[in-house]
A and B are shown apart, each in its own frame.
Chain A
Amino acid sequence: MTAQANPQAARVVLEQISKRFGQTVAVDQVSLAIAPGELVTLLGPSGCGKTTTLRMVAGLETVGGGRIYIGDAEVTHLPPNARDVTMVFQSYALFPHLTVFENVAYGLRVLKRPEAELQKAVRDVLELVGMPGLEGRNPSALSGGQQQRVAVARALVMQPKVLLFDEPLSNLDAKLRKRMREEIRLLQQRLGITAIYVTHDQAEALAISDRIVVMDRGRVSQIGTPLELYKAPANRFVAEFIGEANFLPAQLESVEDGWAGIRIGSQRLRVQSRPLAVGPVTVLARPEAIRIQTGGEGLAGTIQKVSYLGSSADYTVETDLGSVLVTDYSMQGGVLSAGTAVRLEFLPHGVYPLPGAS
């Protein structure tokens, strides 16, 4: 959870905010309450309205309807420079005609902070993001990761009430991306700053967030912790977007306080569930929670396709219930080849009945 309380950190409340561009509705009645010091991610495919929502919080887009509060004040119609919010941009947006130092100092110079205080603040924050000693460089002389750090430093030095991230890691290579997201998370927790983070990368969202808001076509699909979203997706869209998923027809046979008895093919199992009506349902089965074996009990099928991925093997298995994706991390039986007849056993921790009939 959030680290030590930061008096500067503010809560952020979005009340049914909407935005349309011409005929298309980009954001449709999005409501969200973010606690002080919390990191909330807006996650969704491109065009789902997550960036537009973020830009409305920053004041970079006009708000079509609804209200936005930061701390106790309503900021719905305030220009961006009158809000206590800073942003890390996808392209970093480092000023090419200013040095690293001047980039970070920019906001403080606008506020006309005394020179000594400014010097110290800039050096401290560059130290904090692990970039001391490069103050005199031009941004173009920095690597992608370094530019990223300067962009974060420039946003942090203003001690904003809210820090916004607009897909900050999408221009980095895979390895660096992983490292930077850990650093950003550590920094955010250490400073106890409220943050809103936009990404389309579900792995990034799972790794970094206190809570995730999954958005689909301008609307909120589900809000929850990473674990809640993975374990108990509200609908098929969320289930598909977060992690890999199989959707299989099944029978719901009994429901009692949080648990359900279900039958997939001939296999019966008890899984955690919301209260649902007894009858046919669609269940979500995570590929890593399906055991694949050449004999024994379970759903019968034939391997159609094999992808060997090093630490795991992915199988596409053709069954009576349709095509099923299985990820095998153990590979105890070695890697099976296409055409092999197999049995699939569903493990209760990776199966979840979805609301709504199939």
Chain B
Amino acid sequence: MTVARNPACLLGGLGLLLTASLVPFVAREGQALWLRPGDLSLTALALADRHPGFWVLAALAVAWVAAGLIRQERPDRPARWGGTAGCVLVLSLTWAAGVKPYAFGPGAILALAICLLVLAYGLSRGGYIRADTFIAASILALAFFILLFILFPIFSVLRNSVMDASGLRVGLFFETLRRYTALWRVVRNSLGLALFVGVTSTLIGLAFALAATRSRSRLTILLRSFSLLPIITPPFVVGMAIILLFGLQGFVTSQLLGLKTRGIFGFPGLALAQTLSFAPVAFLVIASVVESVNPALEEASLTLRAGPWGTFWRVTLPLLRPGLANAFLLTIIESLADFGNPIILGGEFEVLSTEIYFSIIGRFDQTLAATLGLILLSFSLATFLLQRYWLGERSYVTVTGKPPSGKPMPLPRGLEIALLSFCAAWCAFTLVIYVSVVSGGFVEIWGINNAFTLRHYQQLLRDGMDALQTTLILAAISAPLTAVVGILLAYLVVRHRFPGRGALEFTSMLSFAVPGTVIGIGYVMAFNQSPFLLTGTATILVISFIFRNMPVGIRSGIAALAQIDKALEEASVTLRASFATTIRRIVLPLIRPAIISALVFSFVRSVTAISAVVFLVSAKWQLSTKVILDQAENGRYGLATSYSTVLIVIMALAIALMYLLVGKRAAAGGLEGGGLA
């Protein structure tokens, strides 16, 4: 009779009782999580006097233990109902008890995890999710993390825009806007820049895509790899190089032309920097569409008496239209979200992302930051929704698909020559950009004293190593977590059917559309107070890396899983393997290249991130990109460029390592996935 009839409930109940009596449910703000109970932290039972809800939690645990010993017709029911109640209870108790000076403690996390697990057991055994407890628990846990780290911060931005010290007022949003006189200029600047960059990037992307995929020239390989360079560089490095070339002491403007002008600051410089940065994104999107055009269509056109030019205009280009639209919308999203270039190149030309930054950092005005954040978010979101629902899934044509048989039509001769020479010139220009960044680190003062020096590197060794070390360690911690979260999400969304699957997929891809600055202020607003107190810690940096880069993992995961017959996993589970075993023994070995590329790219993107983390770094946890930005803002380009050079070299090494590990094809796929996400 001592045999458990419902082991999930029995274990859950016992675990919950132990947690409630031994593990600190809340801890003092700023105190480490591993405090002993009683020190500066309180267990659930110790809190029960003040919050009777904890008695309910204890009652639930006891009820579970009891249910665990009784034979039941449907053991999933107590698990499901109790699990749901438990999750709600733990969260609301965290909210109620985790008030200043306390914040959530390890006990709260543990209690929530136990309730989630029991609920997962209830859902899978009740037939609500076609899988076992592991899959159900993964779905619940990821849904919870996405709620907490993507939706809750966005909600906090929303709340801050309509709520201030005097309470909730919907009119506050409009009051703030009326007070902020620069609004129309800023919005016009942001949208105008985004549209302009969208057009130029798409055109250049098209030129590159046609040249790289349809030209017979050997140059194409060079084009491909060269054009991807900006993807592995910190976003503002290009902006910095443009100042070095065209600024007040610019090599071109000042030394070659003898001009003393600040004309490059503002729209012209920004448009140039963003086009350089985002044309590769457009190139990747369009190239995959060009490759997926069925050559038979062009061959059909040629047999119907159309010449190469006619075929190009009447068949090839129209077929590329969805790709062009897609590239256009994606670059608009990127341009709106860009923070690094505007902050060092913007000058008097204010855009939304930098204004958000200055309202927090300069004016300490959270309401204004939240209001502008909402406006920026609505622009990006509208573009994202347009891209997703107007263009649909066509935008996710992945590079891994096999090209259809047949020979694609070569470009008309004249067009080919024109495109190749343009692309070569653009590549040369990109090269000049990078040469100027590298050489900027080796001269005394750019444009004024061009004597060779190692001074900046010496200073870097002295002052910059802490931040570099932090950056690399945090990026290295977050990379495997990002890969796990992203690929697990991809697996769940692609391979499983469960209620809320669409919503989970949508919100996880949302993190791509939400501008980094908005996520940044969202994290500041959501996690700088009890109960979820995380600001100033390394944890929040890692979390922001994970949720910013998650789309990298999701995309490579989806692409890799599409190549694997679903029946393989089904065969494994009918052969008694659990879903976890199936993932470990069947799925992971088969998608290894995707995992490695997801790892490398989430690492690269973490190291080069700036827009969200600029709000989250602290004196203790400083990141390289923020250091470079501070130097560049103050005109100390020598240190900034030498630091950037070091980062670029590290990134290039990481990519090279990936090529070595997974081979060229998979690596190229990963590179493009990394660029697109």
Q: Which residues of A contact B (CB under 8 A)?
A: 58-63, 76-83, 85-87, 89-93, 95-97, 106-107, 110-111, 154-155, 158, 164
A90 to B566, CA, bound (A): 12
Any A CB within 8 A of the CB of B444: no
Question: Which of chain B's residues have a CB closer than 8 A to the CB of A92?
Answer: 567
- Whether A93 lies near B568 (C-beta < 8 A) is yes
A97 to B576, CA, bound (A): 19
- Whether B572 lies near A106 (C-beta < 8 A) is yes
Given the known interface contacts A93-B568, A93-B571, A97-B590, the answer about A77 and B127 at a Cβ–Cβ threshold of 8 Å is yes
> Across the two chains, which residue of chain A brings its CB closest to B76?
A77
CB distance from B152 to the nearest CB of A (A): 30
CB distance from B306 to the nearest CB of A (A): 40
- Whether B576 lies near A93 (C-beta < 8 A) is no
CB distance from A15 to the nearest CB of B (A): 15
- Whether A62 lies near B571 (C-beta < 8 A) is no
Any A CB within 8 A of the CB of B589: yes
CB distance from A307 to the nearest CB of B (A): 34
Given the known interface contacts A62-B130, A91-B565, A110-B581, the answer about A80 and B574 at a Cβ–Cβ threshold of 8 Å is yes
Q: Which of B473-502 contact A (CB under 8 A)?
A: 497
CB distance from B270 to the nearest CB of A (A): 47
Any A CB within 8 A of the CB of B28: no
Known: A58-B570, A77-B126, A96-B590. 15 other contacts (CB 8 A): A59-B573, A61-B130, A62-B128, A77-B76, A79-B573, A81-B575, A81-B579, A86-B574, A87-B570, A87-B574, A97-B589, A97-B590, A110-B575, A154-B575, A155-B574
A93 to B128, CA, bound (A): 26
| Selected contact of A93 from candidates B565, B577, B590, CB within 8 Å | B565
| Selected contact of A81 from candidates B565, B568, B577, B586, CB within 8 Å | B577
Given the known interface contacts A62-B127, A63-B127, the answer about A80 and B573 at a Cβ–Cβ threshold of 8 Å is yes
Q: Which of B124-151 contact A (CB under 8 A)?
A: 124-132
Question: Which of chain B's residues have a CB closer than 8 A to the CB of A106?
Answer: 572, 575, 577, 585
- Whether B570 lies near A60 (C-beta < 8 A) is yes
> Across the two chains, which residue of chain B brings its CB closest to A62?
B130
Q: Name the 5 nearest CB pairs between A and B, nearest first.
A: A107-B575, A77-B127, A93-B567, A93-B571, A79-B132
CB distance from B450 to the nearest CB of A (A): 57
A107 to B586, CA, bound (A): 12
> Across the two chains, which residue of chain B brings its CB closest to A104?
B575
Q: Which residues of B contact A (CB under 8 A)?
A: 76, 124-132, 497, 565, 567-568, 570-579, 581, 585-586, 589-590
CB distance from B14 to the nearest CB of A (A): 23
A80 to B132, CA, bound (A): 9
CB distance from B582 to the nearest CB of A (A): 8
- Whether A59 lies near B130 (C-beta < 8 A) is yes
Question: Which of chain A's residues have a CB closer than 8 A to the CB of B579?
Answer: 79, 81
| Selected contact of B124 from candidates A79, A107, A164, CB within 8 Å | A79
- Whether B567 lies near A81 (C-beta < 8 A) is no
| Selected contact of B132 from candidates A62, A76, A81, A158, CB within 8 Å | A81
Given the known interface contacts A93-B568, A93-B570, A97-B590, the answer about A86 and B127 at a Cβ–Cβ threshold of 8 Å is no
> Across the two chains, which residue of chain B brings its CB closest to A83?
B574
Question: Which of chain B's residues have a CB closer than 8 A to the CB of A76?
Answer: 127
CB distance from A81 to the nearest CB of B (A): 5
Question: Which of chain B's residues have a CB closer than 8 A to the CB of A85?
Answer: 574
Prevailing SS type, chain A contact patch:
loop
A119 to B41, CA, bound (A): 56
Question: Which of chain A's residues have a CB closer than 8 A to the CB of B589?
Answer: 97
Question: Which of chain A's residues have a CB closer than 8 A to the CB of B571?
Answer: 87, 89, 93, 95, 154
Given the known interface contacts A77-B126, A81-B132, A96-B590, the answer about A86 and B575 at a Cβ–Cβ threshold of 8 Å is yes
| Selected contact of B130 from candidates A60, A96, A111, CB within 8 Å | A60
- Whether A107 lies near B576 (C-beta < 8 A) is yes
A261 to B576, CA, bound (A): 57
Can you offer 30 A-B residue contacts whose CB atoms are under 8 A?
Answer: A59-B573, A60-B130, A61-B130, A62-B130, A76-B127, A77-B76, A77-B125, A79-B130, A79-B132, A79-B578, A80-B570, A80-B573, A81-B573, A81-B574, A81-B579, A82-B132, A83-B574, A86-B574, A87-B570, A87-B571, A87-B574, A89-B567, A93-B565, A95-B586, A97-B589, A106-B585, A107-B575, A110-B576, A110-B577, A110-B581
| Selected contact of A60 from candidates B132, B574, B576, B585, CB within 8 Å | B574
Given the known interface contacts A77-B125, A79-B124, A97-B590, the answer about A158 and B570 at a Cβ–Cβ threshold of 8 Å is no
> Across the two chains, which residue of chain B brings its CB closest to A63?
B127
Question: Which of chain A's residues have a CB closer than 8 A to the CB of B131?
Answer: 79
Question: Which of chain A's residues have a CB closer than 8 A to the CB of B497?
Answer: 62
Question: Which of chain B's residues have a CB closer than 8 A to the CB of A79?
Answer: 124, 130-132, 573, 578-579
A244 to B565, CA, bound (A): 36
Give the one of B573, B574, B590 with max A CB within 10 A. B574
Question: Which of chain A's residues have a CB closer than 8 A to the CB of B127?
Answer: 62-63, 76-77
CB distance from A349 to the nearest CB of B (A): 43
A140 to B7, CA, bound (A): 43
- Whether A89 lies near B570 (C-beta < 8 A) is yes
CB distance from B81 to the nearest CB of A (A): 16
A63 to B497, CA, bound (A): 12
- Whether B577 lies near A107 (C-beta < 8 A) is yes
> Across the two chains, which residue of chain A brings its CB closest to B586?
A95
Question: Which of chain A's residues have a CB closer than 8 A to the CB of B590?
Answer: 96-97
A85 to B571, CA, bound (A): 11
Question: Which of chain A's residues have a CB closer than 8 A to the CB of B572?
Answer: 95, 106
A168 to B585, CA, bound (A): 24
CB distance from B410 to the nearest CB of A (A): 35
Question: Which of chain B's residues have a CB closer than 8 A to the CB of A158?
Answer: 575-576
> Across the two chains, which residue of chain B brings its CB closest to A86?
B574
Question: Which of chain B's residues have a CB closer than 8 A to the CB of A63?
Answer: 127
A308 to B660, CA, bound (A): 63
A93 to B566, CA, bound (A): 8
A111 to B581, CA, bound (A): 11
A154 to B575, CA, bound (A): 8
A252 to B132, CA, bound (A): 58
> Across the two chains, which residue of chain A brings its CB closest to B589?
A97
A63 to B576, CA, bound (A): 19
- Whether B574 lies near A58 (C-beta < 8 A) is yes
CB distance from A112 to the nearest CB of B (A): 10
CB distance from A16 to the nearest CB of B (A): 15
> Across the two chains, which residue of chain A brings its CB closest to B568?
A93
CB distance from A154 to the nearest CB of B (A): 7
Question: Which of chain A's residues have a CB closer than 8 A to the CB of B128?
Answer: 62
> Across the two chains, which residue of chain A brings its CB closest to B125?
A77
Question: Which of chain B's residues have a CB closer than 8 A to the CB of A107?
Answer: 575-577
Question: Which of chain B's residues have a CB closer than 8 A to the CB of A77?
Answer: 76, 125-127
Give the one of B126, B130, B575, B590 with max A CB within 10 A. B575
Given the known interface contacts A63-B127, A79-B124, A158-B576, the answer about A90 and B567 at a Cβ–Cβ threshold of 8 Å is yes
CB distance from A278 to the nearest CB of B (A): 51
> Across the two chains, which residue of chain B brings its CB closest to A58?
B574
